[in-house]
Every structure is written in C-alpha cells, then in structure tokens.
Structure 1
Amino acid sequence: MRRVWVVGLIVVVAGVTLSGCTEEPKPEPDSPGVIVPGRPGEDAKTLAPGAAPRAAAKDEPNDTDFRYVRMMIKHHRQALEMTSLVPQRGANPTLKSFASRIADTQGPDIKSMEAWLTKNGGGPAHDSHEQMRGMASPEQLAALRAASGPEFDKLFLQLMTAHHEGAVVMATDVLQTGSDVFVEEMAQDVVVSQQKEIGQMRAMGTP
C-alpha cells in the first residue's frame, strides 16, 4: 500500500507541475517593424517595435540649419528694405499691394527665425560676409532708392525676382542637408510661396 501511495503522489505532483507549465503565457509572435520614410535622398528605415516614438522626436539642428537661418534672416531683411521703398516711389497699385504682402509675411518670419536661434542657443558663428544667393548689391539698392515711377517698378521687379530665386535655391539646399523639423517646414514654405510670387512678378512685367 505504501508503494502505491508514493507512486500516486508522484503522479499528482507531476500533474500539478505540467498544469502550471501550460498556464504560462505564450510569447507573442514578433511584431512587424515600423517603416519610417527617409529624408530627401535617403532610403526608408525599418525600426524595431517601440523605437518609433523615439525616432519620431524632433531631430537636433545641425550646422546647415543654423547657417540657413542666419542667412535667411539677412535675406528677408533686405527684402523688407526693398519693399519699404515701394509706397513712396512705386507707381503700380498692384505692385504696391504685392510688396505689402511680402512685408507682412517676411517680417513675422524674421521674428520666428530669431526665436528659433535663441531657443537653440544661437548655434555656431558664421562669417557675416558669406555670399547669399539673390542679394542685391549696394549699387543696385542705391539705384532702386534713386528711381521712381515706372522706372522704379521695373527695377524693383527685376531685383525682387532675383532675390526670390536665390531664396528658393537656398531653401532647396537646406532641405537636402538640414535636420531640424522647424527649418525644414520653413524652407518648404519658402519654396512654395516664393515660386508663386515669382510667377506673379513676371506677370507684372519682369522678363
């Protein structure tokens, strides 16, 4: 009888052990990775599950971002200098309205870019004499200040068209090599809005 009891006990213990094993949760099958589109010129990346929230965070600005923002602030300031001459020296009412819209847009843009620089510590210093695309020369600005009427309108359209074309090139460049989300969005807006304004200026008489 004792031998049968021992064997029975072994069977009961074994049964409990096996039952406990069957109650353990089975591992979930591997979840598919998350596909994240790459930046311009880069392939898409597949991230491991759980890594997407970290990767979706704002990228740190690089030297290209700081360089673009500093240059574009100066670029916009010259545009404001040019548009400030239009109310008194221009003749075409359509041009005056157009210049006013440029000032209304680029003035706040400058403040946004200055705030971005402050938020990000100002970034590395750059040569203040660095050449910027589309900028009017001192001689061209002097000629614009001296002109009036239809002559002023014609010269303004020529200089501002070149100015906008330079800004589009600068924005396109930073979209290829920058890393900051704010700078990317701003550059995309420059490309879209200033290409549209180039078309408007050509319709007003720029060759």
Structure 2
Amino acid sequence: MTSRRARTLAIVTLALLLPLVAFVVVRTGDDSGTRAAQPVSAPTATAPTASPVPTDLTVIAPGRPGESASTRAAHEVRDAGPAPHNSLDVWFVRMMIPHHAQALEMAQLAPDRAANPTIRALADRIRASQGPEMGMMRGWLQTRGLPAEAPGHDHGSMRGMQSLEAMRQLAAAHGADFDRLFVRMMTEHHEGAIEMATNLLKVGSDLTLSEFANSVATEQTVEIDRMREVLAG
C-alpha cells in the first residue's frame, strides 16, 4: 500500500514538474535568440601608431665631377639652393639674352614684309620660342642675385649679331627681297647662337643651362636647314 502511494506521488510530482522544466528550457532559448537578434556594435577602430622616425639614417651625397660619392647623416642634409654654376655659365646667359633680343626684332618684321608663308611661319616659331627663353634666362640670373648686364661689353661684337645698318635694310625690304635678307641674316644669327651654345656644353657646370644650350643648338640647326630649303625652292 505504501509503495503504491509512493509511486502515485512520484507520478503526480513529475506531472507537475514537467511543464515547469519545459517553460525554463523554452525561456532560455528565447533569451539566447533575442540576444543574437540584437545589433552588434562595430568594434572601435584603433588608429595605427606611427612608427618613430629613425635618427640613424644616412644619405648618399654625390660628389663633384670626377669625385666619388659620400654618405652623410640624414639630419645634416639641407637644401643646397640653386645648382652650382661657374663664370662661363653667367657669361653665356648675359650674352644670349641680347642675342635672342635681336632675333626677336628681326622676326617681328616678317608678318608685314615676308612674301613666303614659310618665312612667316618660321618667324612665328622664333617669336614663340625665344621670347620665353629670354624670360627663363633673366629668371636664372635673378635667382642667383646676378645683374643681366655685362659692364663694358659690346654685344654687337658677338658672332651672328647684325649691324644697325643691316637691321635698317631688313626693315625697309618687302616681298622676295625681305625673304632673301631675312634668311641670310637669321642664318648668320643662328650660327652664332649655335657656336655659343656648343661652347657652353664644353665648359659650363650648370645642368639646366647645359640642357638649354643643347636645345638651342638642336632647334636652331633645324631652322637653318628649313630656311635654306625655302630659298632653294
């Protein structure tokens, strides 16, 4: 009798407990699902930490022509300023400015006087190139605190420079006569500039001027050939 009552009590107790256990299990599952459905905050980005700048870096410093390179501490390297130049660089610039100026003076006569359209086109090209080149050379001198004038020098003695009388004759000529005079005078003028540029390439030390001198020699040689073709045709 006691045993039967005990089994009956156990069954009743189990029946009462099962709904409670199921409720706890279901409730626990709901909580985890709810937590999973909630938005997750993005992790805070951490700014990368800058690496300290090494203080033991060395820089290779090129030597002068014929000298080997050397190494220096990075903090010792400073802006060297304008590129090194010598007195022949300065002389070239001071001579080439008035030389270009006379070429521009001749070229400015062509639009109203030349008969051949090729001559007018060549004159346009000379104005378009040599005007800015004069500005570059003046700027080169100003950057270095150098005056543009060479005291006591007669620019008319430079090779290729035309006399005042020749310039007057060119200004008075028209048509085919102008074309012939222009080609002869500008060819002589260009040959003088080519000689000056070629000489600088042998003795100058400024890289910018060397590149400019090479350009002058190359371009004006082409223009001489073109002018000669015009007269030959």
TM, length-normalised to structure 2? 0.64
Structure 1 residue 34, shift from structure 2 partner: 10
Which residue of the other structure, out of 129, 133, 151, is the alignment partner of 1:105? 129
Aligned length: 166
Question: CA separation in 2, counterparts of 1:151 and 1:60?
Answer: 47
Question: CA separation in 2, counterparts of 1:37 and 1:161?
Answer: 38
The equivalent residue for 2:200 is 174
- Structure 1 126/182 Cα, relative in aligned 2: closer, same or farther at 3 Å? farther
Matched AA of 1:89 = R
Runs (5+) with no aligned partner, structure 1 = 1-32, 39-43
Q: Return structure 1 stretches of 4+ with deviation > 2 angstroms.
A: 33-38, 44-50, 123-128
1:29-78 deviations in whole A, cap 9, x for unaligned? xxxx999895xxxxx5543566xxx8xx7641111111110110101100
Partner secondary structure for residue 140 of structure 2: helix
Q: Is the 8 A contact 1:157 1:206 kept in 2?
A: no
Which residue of the other structure, out of 91, 98, 108, is the alignment partner of 1:84? 108
1:129-186 deviations in whole A, cap 9, x for unaligned? 1421111111111110111110000000000001001000000111111111121111
> Is 1:190 paired with 2:212?
no
Work out which of the two has the higher radius of gyration on C-alpha atoms and give 1 or 2. 2
Matched AA of 1:103 = R
Which residue of the other structure, out of 112, 116, 140, is the alignment partner of 2:166? 140
The equivalent residue for 1:127 is 152
Partner secondary structure for residue 205 of structure 1: helix
The equivalent residue for 1:60 is 84
The equivalent residue for 2:69 is 47
Partner secondary structure for residue 127 of structure 1: coil
Question: CA separation in 2, counterparts of 1:64 and 1:102?
Answer: 25
Runs (5+) with no aligned partner, structure 2 = 1-59
Matched AA of 1:47 = A
TM, length-normalised to structure 1? 0.72
Question: CA separation in 1, counterparts of 2:127 and 2:143?
Answer: 24
